A and B are shown apart, each in its own frame.
Chain A
Amino acid sequence: MTDNGTHTDRKWWTPFNVIVGIILAAGAILTVMRFTQGIGAVTNLDNNNAWGLWIGFDLLCGVALAAGGYVTSAACYIFGLKRFHSAVRPAILTAFLGYALVVLALHYDVGRPWRLPYPIFVSQGTSSLLFEVGLCVFLYLTVLFIEFTPAAFEWLGLKKIRALVVKLTLILTIFGVVLSTLHQSSLGALFMIAPSKLHPLWYSGYLPVYFFISSMFAGMSMVIFESTLAHRYLSRHMDDTHHREAPGVALGFAKAAAFVMAGYLGIKLIGIAIDDHWRLLTTGWGMWYLVEVIGFVAFPALLFAMGVRERNLIFVRWAAAWTVLGIVLNRLNISVIAFNYHLPSHERYVPSLMEIGTSVFIVTLGIVIYRFITTRMPVLHEHPDYSAHSPEQKSI
């Protein structure tokens, strides 16, 4: 780290800023179109396909890939693996931004943003899985916000309130794990309401288990992937501790991810056996299913394992990126590609360019906010007043 998060000489007309500026401007136009002309003006959704890319990618993938927050904080504070400490703040920030953007994306799909508090405070549908997901996301977003505030308080110099929040770390971590267990699985359970619409290879009574277990290795892979990008583009904001601990974090998470993925493959196999869907594996859909399971779960699991054995970070980083892609593919398969598989091709849902543009806009917004925060607040480095060498003990 060279500048401790401060900026002196800044160039605005960089390729990154220009591309981001164009995407944000296009996103602003799409936002105005969506909220003034209705959902039909910008999407290809219809009565057959009520959920599209914004749910399949922005929401389902966003929540799964934000699982790094609960995985990392649980590893560090519940299982006592302090060597993951330097990864906690970036993971919490990624999770917080991920969930915040999930809620933002939900507004585009649902519309009428002023009604957002209704399901929680006005009209609770307690028999609905969507209510549980909504409540959990609302609570977990609050937990993630509080978990991240020590970084902001250190930045602002608010020592007393920072000390108060740090005392809540363990209870917030436990609360976060409980809430994540609930809503990660419930997102899978949502699709159990549509046994006739989702292809039998993806439909299973174990969908909630699949979603929860896959969120674990999704989170770990995302932490490795994000760390790789941060080391490449934000390296000057990292301190020596972060640089020193990064390979251990990557290899530790790679080992855990490989083992969880092996278990996930096992229960996927059991899911096929218990429903007796073996014959479907030889169909076209079966081939696509095998591409997902072998190409994007078994292969990266083996790559993770080889990376761990050989201490090869290149293997680990490629496996992490491949796993993140696999999670995106899995969630899109369930919510879009293998959903309504029986419809004739002209009635199938294909996202419009404006839907894709809106998703790109939301992801870009997340990257910009992440960069804004990490270049200012002590996320990738320890604040000098709270570092391990300072008199005050650093807890989060």
Chain B
Amino acid sequence: MNTLFFTLQDFMVHTKGITYLIMGGILVALPLFWWFLTDRDDENSF
């Protein structure tokens, strides 16, 4: 994680790349969390 960057281009490519991977993870994780939150709604209606 302690990468040396020599240009702004390098820095942006690196950080944006990681960010896009995280966003992909969030896109998967949030619906799963929503499913975890709501999958008992039919039995617990409120």
Contacts and interface: CB of A to CB of B under 8 A. Distances in A.
Interface of A: 83, 247-248, 251-252, 255, 258-259, 262-263, 266, 269-270, 273-276, 278-279, 305, 308-309, 311
A193 B19 CA distance: 25
Contacts of A252: 46
**Range of interface residues on chain B?**
20 to 34
B3 to A, nearest CB: 8
Given A276-B14, A276-B15, A269 B33 contact: no
B7 interface: no
A357 B15 CA distance: 45
Contacts of B39: 309
A305 B37 contact: yes
Contact of B46 (A251, A263, A275, A305): A251
A269 B37 contact: no
A262 B33 contact: yes
B36 A270 contact: no
Contacts of A248: 46
A262 B26 CA distance: 9
Given A248-B46, A276-B14, A259 B19 contact: no
B40 A262 contact: no
Interface string B22-42: 110010011001101111100
B9 interface: no
Nearest to B18: A273
B46 A259 contact: no
Contact of A309 (B2, B16, B40): B40
A33 to B, nearest CB: 50
A278 B1 contact: yes
Contacts of A275: 15
Contact of B33 (A276, A278, A305): A305
Given A274-B19, A309-B36, A279 B1 contact: yes
A126 B3 CA distance: 42
Nearest to B23: A270
B37 A258 contact: yes
A247 B44 CA distance: 12
Contacts of A305: 33, 36-37
28 contacts: A247-B46, A248-B46, A252-B46, A255-B37, A255-B38, A262-B29, A262-B30, A263-B30, A266-B29, A269-B22, A270-B23, A270-B26, A274-B19, A275-B15, A276-B1, A276-B3, A276-B14, A276-B15, A276-B18, A279-B2, A305-B33, A305-B37, A308-B37, A309-B36, A309-B37, A309-B40, A309-B44, A311-B46
Contact of A259 (B1, B14, B34): B34
